[in-house]
């Protein structure tokens, strides 16, 4: 039986590595997320976006509306605008051509309008820097 404590002690470095890996991975995921909001009614949000960065729009739709309008703009500059028809798959939904970039650094308005009842989680994430994807 003395061998058993040796085995558990030898696994301690492995446990530490696993914890460190998940900690680093969780912090990296947060840095890439620009906004993450639950939306059940027409809403406006402000986000800081930068020129030269590619962004991607994600929508999670566990019990959300069938259609949703999304517009991202700064003054008359519209960086992204689309109406999405969502399915009730219970999985993350990546809209067709969800990537966009902006022409200048600054605060952009995100306008979200569900066209039927339900809640969605809308996320904008950085997907890369121009020329380095």
Domains of the chain are 34-129 (2.60.120.380)
Cα distance between residue 81 and residue 68, in whole Å? 11
Give the phi and the psi of residue 32 in degrees, each rounded to 5: -80, -20
Distances (CA, A) of 133 to 34, 55, 96, 116, 130: 18, 12, 19, 36, 7
Coil/strand/helix, residue 7: helix
pLDDT digits (tens, 9 = 90+) for 72-93: 999 999 999 988 777 655 555 5
Computed over every residue of the chain, the mean pLDDT equals 79
pLDDT classification of 3: cutoffs 50, 70, 90: low
Burial state string for 65-76 with b = 16 or more CB within 10 A and e = fewer than 16: beebebbbebee
Cβ–Cβ under 8 Å, residues 84 and 98: no
pTM: 0.68
**In 1-133, where does DSSP find H-type helix?**
3-10, 12-32
What is the CB neighbour count within 10 angstroms for residue 31? 9
pLDDT digits (tens, 9 = 90+) for 34-47: 999 989 899 999 99
Q: What's the whole-number mean pLDDT along residues 59-67?
A: 73
Q: Which two tokens stand for residue 126?
A: 């950085």
Cα distance between residue 102 and residue 78, in whole Å? 9
């Amino acid at each position: 039986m003395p061998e058993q404590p040796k085995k558990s002690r030898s696994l301690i470095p492995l446990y530490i590595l696993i914890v460190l890996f998940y900690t680093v991975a969780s912090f990296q995921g947060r840095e890439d997320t620009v906004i993450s909001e639950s939306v059940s009614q027409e809403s406006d949000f402000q986000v800081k976006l930068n020129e030269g960065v590619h962004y991607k729009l994600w929508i999670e739709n566990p019990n959300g509306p069938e259609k949703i309008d999304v517009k991202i703009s700064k003054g008359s500059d519209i960086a992204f605008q689309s109406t999405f028809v969502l399915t009730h798959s219970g999985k993350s939904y990546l809209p067709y051509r969800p990537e966009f970039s902006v022409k200048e650094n600054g605060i952009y308005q995100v306008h979200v309008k569900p066209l039927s009842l339900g809640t969605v989680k809308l996320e904008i994430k950085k997907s890369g820097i121009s020329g380095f994807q």
